[in-house]
Amino acid sequence: MNEIRKIAPVAIWDNFQKLCDTPRPSNKEEAVLKLLEKMADDKGLAHFRDSGGNLVVSVPAKAGFEDRKMVILQSHVDMVTQANSGSTHNFDTDPIRMVMDGEWITADNTTLGADNGIGAAAMMGFMTEDGLEHGPLELLFTVDEERGLTGAMNLEPGRLKGEILLNLDTEDEYELCVGCAGGGDLVASYDYTEEAVGAGQVARDIALTGLKGGHSGIDIILGLGNANKLMARFLRTAICDFDARIVKINAGTARNAIPRESFATIVLPEGKVSDFDAALNAFASDIKDEIGAIEPKFAVAATNADLPAKAMSAKDSKAFNNACVGAPNGVQAMSTSVEGVVETSINLAIVKLGEGKAKVTLSARSSINSARDAMREVATAVFENIGASVAWGDAYPGWKPDANSEVVSLMKAVHKDMFG
């Protein structure tokens, strides 16, 4: 992708290419941290890793700027690792292949990692570009953000010296983030009864594909399709109208990604297959009417599958799927103080089912901690109602906006000077 490395500002795109060439899944950031440490060593910059695994690089002030307040720039180095079905990409070993499509840069059937790779690439510029004027800097590269902010949560107290912290993990031009939702996950575990598949039954694989997916914080406001919710919606029809039983479900890969695909296997009476297929076609038509404008590539299809020896019992199939249908998902409340901003949301992120065990992961967000946990309580109640056990993950707090802070005022003034 030599043409990408020529895009201005060249330093940022050159640095981003280095990040794309270096595997960096969450909790597997050693390779990218070593890359950054070598870059610092090549420039003679002091650096250390704290007890939380985060990397801090110190960049001295340029001449004439020594008396300025020290600024901390922060980005995370890990990325969401999602690939489309059929992709053979190995995120542990393979580089991300960038694709230029007009004015957009995407990846070849995988996530790109611009969250937060572009922020990290900009920070790397302070290590590689000698002509930049700035005061003293600390470059804070945190780890394992996408799995639950564990690097930031375990940041070692007392190691940073900066007075101002600027986070570079945002995407929109001409906007400054001055507040943020907190978040917390929950995992529902459900042990179910399997029963023999009798004579006169057939198996069908259902593939729900083509959704855009997206970040469950940034993109939740867009009304994108959630593959888990859509699959549960159709499975309710299959179970209630055609006596289907669930064999397995595999959908979603990350707690903070809106699931783009869902794959399920069911069994049903052979005599009901024709009506089942007609219902699936009707469902596909309905969904295209509902979200086709924003999800033009949505598709769902059923194909013949090998008949399994066992399937989920009819009772448990209905109970579990009803819980997925009833589980909260999407925007729950908009901010009453900041127009157009989501206050509270939740994402039905991952559903895995097979061989007597099911697991569902949801991720709740809110700028109000009590509202975040209220959503987790709602989801907990839904799954406990069918006998599932529910465990809450560690939560992180919201960041209440302060539009009148000194830093916000300064940034607004600089933005006006630069862009009018």
What is the span of the domain harbouring residue 335?
183-392
As a whole number, mean pLDDT of residues 301-319 equals 98
Four-residue CA torsion sign, 386, 364, 231, 197? negative
145 is catalytic: yes
Band the pLDDT of 3: cuts 50, 70, 90.
Answer: confident
Which member of 115, 145, 185, 343 is catalytic? 145
- pLDDT at 1 > cutoff 60: no
As a whole number, mean pLDDT of residues 30-35 equals 98
pLDDT attached to residue 341: 87
pLDDT attached to residue 176: 87
Lowest model confidence (mean pLDDT) among 28-37, 212-221, 232-241: 212-221
Instruction: For residue 107, give the 3-state DSSP assignment.
Output: strand
Higher pLDDT, 181 or 205: 205
Instruction: For residue 59, give the 3-state DSSP assignment.
Output: strand
Instruction: For residue 417, give the 3-state DSSP assignment.
Output: helix
Are the beta carbons of 345 and 364 closer than 8 angstroms? yes
Same domain, 331 and 347: yes
Band the pLDDT of 66: cuts 50, 70, 90.
Answer: very high
325-346: pLDDT as tens digits: 999 999 999 988 778 889 999 9
- pLDDT at 263 > cutoff 80: yes
Cα angle: 168, vertex 171, 175; to 5 degrees: 85
Same domain, 189 and 156: no
As a whole number, mean pLDDT of residues 165-194 equals 92
pLDDT attached to residue 21: 97
Q: What is the pTM of this model?
A: 0.70
DSSP per-residue codes, 339-361: TT-EEEEEEEEEEEEETTEEEEE
Residue 24, domain CATH: 3.40.630.10
Same domain, 205 and 60: no
The answer to whether residue 409 is domain-embedded is no
Same domain, 24 and 84: yes
The last residue of a domain, from among 178, 200, 229: 178
The answer to whether residue 86 is domain-embedded is yes
The last residue of a domain, from among 178, 202, 232: 178
Which member of 29, 50, 78, 261 is catalytic? 78
Are the beta carbons of 196 and 310 closer than 8 angstroms? yes
pLDDT attached to residue 193: 98
Same domain, 146 and 293: no
Query: Would you call 237 exposed, middle or buried from its count of C-beta atoms within 10 A (0-12, 13-18, 19+)?
Result: middle
For the chain, give the mean pLDDT.
Answer: 95
78 is catalytic: yes
Same domain, 293 and 246: yes
Helix residue spans in 243-349 (DSSP H):
273-291, 314-326
Same domain, 355 and 237: yes
- pLDDT at 400 > cutoff 90: no
The answer to whether residue 262 is domain-embedded is yes
Q: How many domains does the chain have?
A: 2
Separation of alpha carbons 375 and 269, rounded Å: 38
The answer to whether residue 419 is domain-embedded is no
As a whole number, mean pLDDT of residues 36-51 equals 98
The answer to whether residue 401 is domain-embedded is no
Strands (E), 102-230: 104-107, 137-142, 164-167, 182-191, 194-196, 201-209, 214-215
Q: Given the structure tokens 């230029």, which residue do they identify?
A: 100
pLDDT attached to residue 165: 95
Residue 370, domain CATH: 3.30.70.360
pLDDT attached to residue 171: 75
Same domain, 196 and 160: no
